[in-house]
Amino acid sequence: MIDLLYSKRFDIVQLEGLYLSPYIDTIRQVSQAKIVLRAHNVEHEIWQRNSQTNKNTLKRLYMRSMSKRLERFEIMTLAKIDGLIPITERDEKTFFEMGFAKSSLTIPFGIKACNYKIKEINPKPLSVAYIGALDWFPNREGLTWFLEKVWRKITIKFSDIDFHIAGRNADMELKRLINTFSNVHFYGEVDSAQDFIQSHPIMVAPLFSGSGMRVKIIEGMLLKRAMVVTPIASEGISVSDGENILIADNSDKFVEALSQLFYTPEKITTLGNAAHHFVMSHYDNHLLIENLTEFYKNLK
């Protein structure tokens, strides 16, 4: 990196995430470039929220301590950078509350639609899908909750509807839970997330911790899936509950939302088409690149 900065003059050095911030002092020594942080999350919030939901007392104490340390580190980093590109407006507001007072622009995760082979949604046969990295605690926590609190109730009402799970590195505890259901199918890491998502008309995203934007939700909406999510899962995405997504803040409402889709499959199509239109209107890469270029031109 030092050789590269010496060999060429850069106007901007963009750091992809907080964990590259230890390089800031080195960059300052060898380059006059403006340093911009692309903040994928408010990192300390992930640990803070995990500490509030974890059932293990020692882990809660450890996560609370890590959250406070990370918050101090984030505040210190914010004081060193010249510009900030958070991924959601909600994260941007949080960074301002933490003391950041320089140039900032929210640039969400962008979609390059030409990379997706978008098929028309077919609500039948009915099935539900989940996809996410299962070695990430918030995903594992949310999926476990969904299986125990939501899918058990769904199975009683709709025994003929299957739930399909894709994700890498599931631990044995989660696999044992999955195996207690006859109508839940686990695939591990799949070759094509697109193909998996488009094989099922309904997609769920149960999250209770974490921060930033849920990329898989944006992809699911682009691919015209009917999305049912928790409030934290939709955090930072300017969706409209009941119009282009269904948001449920407890297990009963989650069951109610899924039941609504099962009883009226035409709503799956309506919701999926509205979701696709929303993503194309707000997350198109071309528009986001124009906004980012203009931000960099005006950065002082």
pLDDT in tens, 101-156: 999 999 988 888 888 888 888 888 899 999 999 998 889 999 999 999 999 999 99
Residue matched to tokens 């003929």: 160
pLDDT band at 99 (very low <50, low <70, confident <90, very high): very high
Query: Helix 43-53 crosses helix 57-80 at what angle (to 10 degrees)?
Result: 170
Burial of 284 (0-12, 13-18, 19+ CB in 10 A): middle
pLDDT in tens, 222-251: 999 999 999 999 988 889 999 999 999 999
290 Cβ contact list (under 8 Å, min separation 6):
none
| Cβ-contact 223, 202 below 8 angstroms | no
Residue matched to tokens 């199918």: 185
pLDDT in tens, 246-278: 999 999 999 999 999 999 999 999 999 999 999
Here the tokens at position 119 are 């098929």
Q: How many CB atoms lie within 10 A of CB 43?
A: 21
Q: In what order do the strands lie in the sheet with 202-205?
A: 184-186, 162-166, 127-131, 202-205, 226-229, 246-247
pLDDT band at 50 (very low <50, low <70, confident <90, very high): confident
pLDDT band at 300 (very low <50, low <70, confident <90, very high): confident
DSSP, res 216: H
pLDDT in tens, 24-36: 999 999 999 999 9
Q: How far apart, in Å, are the Cα atoms of 26 and each of 63, 76, 176, 221? A: 30, 16, 48, 41
pTM (2 decimals)? 0.78
pLDDT at residue 86 tops 70? yes
- Position 22 scores a pLDDT of 96
pLDDT band at 205 (very low <50, low <70, confident <90, very high): very high
pLDDT in tens, 157-184: 998 999 999 999 999 999 999 999 999 9
Mean pLDDT calculated for residue range 202-210: 91
Residue matched to tokens 């939709």: 234
- Position 69 scores a pLDDT of 97
| Cβ-contact 51, 100 below 8 angstroms | no
pLDDT band at 213 (very low <50, low <70, confident <90, very high): low
Which of 10-24, 40-54, 230-244 is predicted with the least confidence, judged by mean pLDDT?
40-54
The rounded distance, in Å, linking the Cα atoms of 182 and 163 is: 10
- Position 110 scores a pLDDT of 86
- Position 212 scores a pLDDT of 54
- Position 124 scores a pLDDT of 81
pLDDT at residue 11 tops 60? yes
- Position 131 scores a pLDDT of 97
User: Please, where are the H alpha helices in 81-192?
Assistant: 89-97, 137-145, 152-157, 172-178
Q: What structural domains does the chain harbor?
A: 2-110+285-297 (3.40.50.2000), 113-282 (3.40.50.2000)
Q: For the chain, what percent of residues have pLDDT higher than 90?
A: 79
- Position 46 scores a pLDDT of 87
- Position 171 scores a pLDDT of 96
pLDDT at residue 218 tops 90? yes
Mean pLDDT calculated for residue range 57-75: 95
The rounded distance, in Å, linking the Cα atoms of 166 and 131 is: 5
